Structure 1
Amino acid sequence: MEKLLQTVRITINDKLYVKDPESSDLGKRIIRESIKMIYEIGFESFTFKKLGTRIGSNESSIYRYFENKHKLLLYLASWYWGWLEYQLVFATNSIPDARLKLQSAIEIMTQPTEIDTAFTHIDEVMLNKIVINEYSKSYLTKEVDQENKEGYFVIYKRLVNRMSTMIKEVKPSYPYPSSLASCLLEGALHQYFLMDHFNSLTDCSIKNTPTAYFKHLVFNALND
């Protein structure tokens, strides 16, 4: 099983990169160190020049992989959502009961992130923090509609659709499955952000987890 998981590859829209960073050691180093730098200093302060200094390579070598740091952020976010999707499919595929499947899916989408040894050049814990803090910057732009047409958000949309389908399997008559699914994904990020920065604005905590909150929210909505 471990060998099987090590062969998993997250497929990203090739319009997000100039050269596939998974195709070389330098590309993987760019991904690994960019995650560390964005985690440490934030996306606004992050530059390819700083990254080049960190990895001991020319700034121009990074541009051979990514056109700009916006597309790098989109790549990292897409990888994160693709990684969650593979976990979701793997964990729920053999569960026949619709409610148990949805419950497992909510746990996958909302639980604290742990390191996945199948991807040695990606620190999933740091990447999760980047998505929590920076993901909205990838789509709150004037170019979002065109980027959506280009398929930049297809993995995220596919993940929402998977959750929506599971919600409909539990209650086919529920009128807002996509809204509830997107609320779950975005809401989980927001609750973790509030826990880290504005804890007076949330009831979630280490003991009273976002997972417990979203199970309560989703199943109460479906039980009405």
Structure 2
Amino acid sequence: MENLLSNLNINVNEKLYVKNPETSDLGKKIIKSSILLIHEIGFEAFTFKKLGEKIKSNESSIYRYFESKHKLLLYLSSWYWSWIEYKLVFATNNISSSIEKLSKAIIIITEEIEDDISTRHVNESILNKIIICEFTKTFLTKEVDEENKEGFFLVYKSVINRIIVMIEEVNPNYKFAKTLASSIVEGSLHQHYLKEHFKTITNLSESNTLSDFYIDLIKKTLL
């Protein structure tokens, strides 16, 4: 699967950038270093000035790729969910059992992320930590409806829609497929955050994984 993934180009909505960062060494450097810097200092403290200092380039050179740090975070989020979607497709493509397919999809959504060495300018493990902490900041804004119309969240919704279809295949009569699917995807991020910062209010541990919880939940709910 990883070999197949390495041959795929991840496409991100072109409205999220001024110039596609994938087309130049500087652009890839901006992506790589922004992931590391956001993880290090947090999105609130992150600025293009600080990023420019990190990559030893003018702040203005970053604006040639992204018009704001909000658009940059949207870009990173879209890239992440595109990568997750590719993993979902390849991991479930040849599974005939509907419940096994859904269970595998849940593992992909909820598992601890390791860096994919085939994408040298993106550390998926660190990007996952950013998504866990910062993803809600992409849509908990006054501009969310307009940005949704622009298609900025299409890939994120596509991931959820794939889970919806799998839930309906397991139990066509279950009337809350959309709510369950979005709860799994969003809940995964939230539970990983709790595991890291509020351990006393989650059952997650080395022996109790998030995949175990959601697979147990969907089987008891749908079967």
For the criterion TM > 0.5, the same-fold answer is yes
TM-score scaled to structure 2, two decimals?
Answer: 0.98
Percent pairwise identity: 56
The answer on 1:6 being equivalent to 2:31 is no
Query: Any residues of structure 2 matched to 1:153-168 within 5 Å, and which?
Result: 153-168=153-168
Separation of aligned partners in 1, 2:107 and 2:6: 23
In structure 2, stretches of 5+ residues that fail to align are none
Rounded to whole Å, the distance in 1 between the matches of 2:3 and 2:109 is 24
Partner of 2:26: 26
Residues 154-204 of structure 1: CA deviation (Å, up to 9, x unaligned): 000011000000000000001011111100000000000000001111111
Change in 2 beyond 3 A, CA 1:52/1:3: same
Distance 1:3 1:113, change over 3 A: closer
| Aligned residue identity for 1:18 | V
**Alpha-carbon displacement from aligned partner over 1:19-55 (angstroms, at most 9, x marks no partner):** 0000000000000000000000000000000000100
Alignment of 1:209-224 (within 5 A): 209-223=209-223
2:126 corresponds to which residue? 126
What are the Cα deviations for residues 84-112 of structure 1, in whole angstroms up to 9, with x where unaligned?
00000000001111111111101100010
Deviations 1:127-146 (A, max 9, x none): 00000000011100000000
Report what 1:106 is aligned to: 106
1:83 pairs with 2:83: yes
**1:170-185 aligned within 5 A:** 170-185=170-185
**2:74 counterpart SS class:** helix
- Amino acid aligned to 1:214: Y
Structure 2 equivalent of residue 198 of structure 1: 198
Distance in 1 (alpha carbons) for counterparts of 2:172 and 2:134: 34
Distance in 2 separating the partners of 1:123 and 1:31: 10
Letter in 2 for 1:154: L
Q: Which runs of 5+ in 1 are unaligned?
A: none
CA distance in 1, matches of 2:196, 2:4: 35
Match of 1:188 in 2: 188
Q: Which runs of 4+ in 1 moved over 6 A?
A: none
Give 1:43-54 correspondences, 5 Å limit.
43-54=43-54
Separation in structure 2 between the aligned mates of residue 133 and residue 18 of structure 1, nearest angstrom = 26
> Structure 1 residue 3: deviation in Å?
5.2
What's the C-alpha RMSD, in Å, of the aligned pairs? 1.0
* Corresponding position of 1:148: 148
Matched residues in 2 for 1:217 and 1:63: separation?
Answer: 45
- Residues in 2 aligned to 1:52 and 1:95: alpha-carbon distance in whole angstroms: 46
Distance, in Å, in 2 between the alignment partners of 1:190 and 1:5 is 27
Look up the SS of the partner of 1:8 in the other structure: coil
The alignment's TM-score, normalised by the length of structure 1, stands at: 0.97
8 Å contact 2:5–2:86 — kept in the other structure? no
Q: Give me the whole-angstrom Cα distance separating, in 2, the residues matched to 1:10 and 1:155.
A: 11
